[in-house]
Amino acid sequence: MTPTRIAPLALYQEVAERLRERIFSHELPPGSWVDEQALADDYGISRTPLREALKVLAAEGLVTLKPRRGCYVTEISERDLDEIFNVMALLEGQCAKLSARKATDADLQRLREVHGKLEKAAADDDMNGFFEANQAFHYVLQEIADNRWLLQVIEDLRKVIKLSRQHSLFSEGRLEQSLAEHRELLAALAARDEERAELLMRAHINSGRAALARIAKAKSRTA
């Protein structure tokens, strides 16, 4: 492969990552039109790598390409969230089941260490720390499950969920509930109870969706 081939490939990937960050931070909010020329000027690039980056994001579900109308940041509806969380519950439940079967003592220790960070963040009322530890806990489980296709689909769906303007942990009492669910799940994994681990993870994901629904309902009342 020649150097002229490598450079454009790396460029559109970097552009895609920068756009993801702007979408997840809602600097580019759901439903907003993506001004390709303004972005190209901002990044100091041509529209070719920008369009390649947008194709990547479209494949991930983060933007929607509309013929003759341009590109828009995807809007995620309550129905979308219902359907995505249903799929996530199945996939992450399978991860938990596989992890209960495959986890070594070292793997379980890794999970306990991450869970310890969850406990500390909750005690310190450190929401950002809890977010990070929560994501790490789920990611370690997915690594233990050792199914790269399962991991890829879960990661793609999590990107779409980030389009939601809310996070389930902002629901009153959800942080404590989530922490208790993690404790139960960790106990099931340590006991090598595959079926219970799967059921607990499904319930955990569904509880997160229910918390998001409560937030949306509360917002509609005050709107």
> What pTM does this model have?
0.81
pLDDT of residue 166: 62
Same domain, 93 and 163: yes
Question: Which residue in 21, 1, 15 sits closest to 56, CA to CA?
Answer: 15
Q: How far apart (Å, rounded) are the C-alpha atoms in residues 159 and 90?
A: 17
Cα distances from 197 to residues 6, 89, 193, in angstroms, run 44, 12, 6
Domain holding 105, by residue range, is 78-222
Same domain, 83 and 7: no
- Residue with structure tokens 């090598």? 192
Q: How far apart (Å, rounded) are the C-alpha atoms in residues 118 and 132?
A: 9
Same domain, 64 and 155: no
Same domain, 66 and 85: no
User: Contact 73/62 with Cβ under 8 angstroms?
Assistant: yes
Same domain, 34 and 88: no
pLDDT of residue 5: 52
Same domain, 57 and 101: no
Q: Give the residues of the chain that fall short of pLDDT 70.
A: 1-9, 165-171, 219-223
pLDDT of residue 159: 87
- 83-114 pLDDT, tens digit per residue, is 999 999 999 999 999 999 999 999 999 999 99
Of the chain, the end-to-end C-alpha distance in Å amounts to 56
